[in-house]
Amino acid sequence: MFDSFLEELHTQLHSRGAEALPIPEGLAECHSTRSSSVIRSWLWTLPGIRRWRVTRLDAGESLQVLNSVAYPDYSRDQPLLGIDLLWFGSRQKLVAVLDFQPLLQTPAYLAHHLDELRLLHKQFPDLSGEETMRSYDPHQYFSPWLLFCRGGAEQAHGSLPVAFSAFLDRYWALHDRPQIATGIEPLDVPLLQSNYDAYSAERDPAHGLFTSHFGKTWSDRFLHEFLFPGHEKVPVLTNESSP
Ligand code: BLA
């Protein structure tokens, strides 16, 4: 379902000079022993982005996933890029989340970094459904203008491909802007990014899913060593009231 998106993302990463980073032993690919599910991941670094991870899960008709997070260099205070696309084929159900994930929730930070996303949010109303979050807090590391849709085939084949391209395009535009100070001390960026990992490792609703396909031992390692390796560096803090 999302292979054309994966290809589009990888083509752009290559055109931006992406180089592969090593993935911990055994985590780049895993085949379920119980079903035909396969999970495959890639890890990149490129100018201005220290770590860009990409994961594709193929569980046939029951589930297809494309998940990706970009962590900018520590010298940049821009939001992380976050992509989580899920297609439950047997139920024809789509969950699509595209966000510029903010390091801070202050008005100055949001105004500076999220204008482009605000325009996309307006442009794609059927993907911007004000959905309720069950496991995450929408005020931590999610922007007020994320594209978040629980929909079906109409959105998956209609607006999502257009929105996906526009979303990548707008993130590159944000990335290419001159860097100016927005009130975060450079030293705080590593802490805020690690805190994102700690928060996400605790809340990610995918852990049960991974365990059911690939077993608990592999899933624990994948979550801690690949998806959110920064989680060890900090206790879970809120980013709501940071400077
Ligand atoms: C929801 N994401 C989900 C769900 C699953 C995944 C199973 C629950 C589905 C549902 O609510 O119906 C799957 N998450 C994954 C997978 C990976 C993962 C397979 O991390 C890893 C390979 N999630 C992200 C990122 C964003 C994100 C980067 O990983 C932001 C763009 C958002 N996922 C997100 C949100 C929900 C979700 C907001 C709804 C959760 C909620 O209701 O609280």
pTM greater than 0.75 (yes/no): yes
> Which of 1, 75, 68 is CA-nearest to residue 41?
68
Termini Cα distance of the chain: 41
| C-alpha 205 to ligand 1 mean position (Å) | 6
Q: Whose CA is nearest to atom 27 of ligand 1?
A: 84
Give me the chain's average pLDDT, please: 91
Q: How far apart are CA 197 and CA 239, in angstroms?
A: 12
User: Using DSSP, how many helices (H) and how many strands (E) does the chain show?
Assistant: 8, 8
How does pLDDT run across 209-241, given as a tens digit for each residue? 999 999 999 999 999 999 999 877 665 555 554
- Pocket perturbation via mutation, ligand 1, pick of 5, 84, 132 by most ligand atoms within 8 A of CB: 84
Q: How far apart are CA 167 and CA 112, in angstroms?
A: 17
| C-alpha 178 to ligand 1 mean position (Å) | 31
How does pLDDT run across 16-45, given as a tens digit for each residue? 999 999 999 999 999 998 888 999 999 999
Question: What domains are there in the chain, each with its CATH number?
Answer: 3-231 (3.40.1500.20)
Contact, 167 vs 148, CB < 8 A?
no
Q: Whose CA is nearest to atom 14 of ligand 1?
A: 206
| C-alpha 181 to ligand 1 mean position (Å) | 31
| C-alpha 208 to ligand 1 mean position (Å) | 12
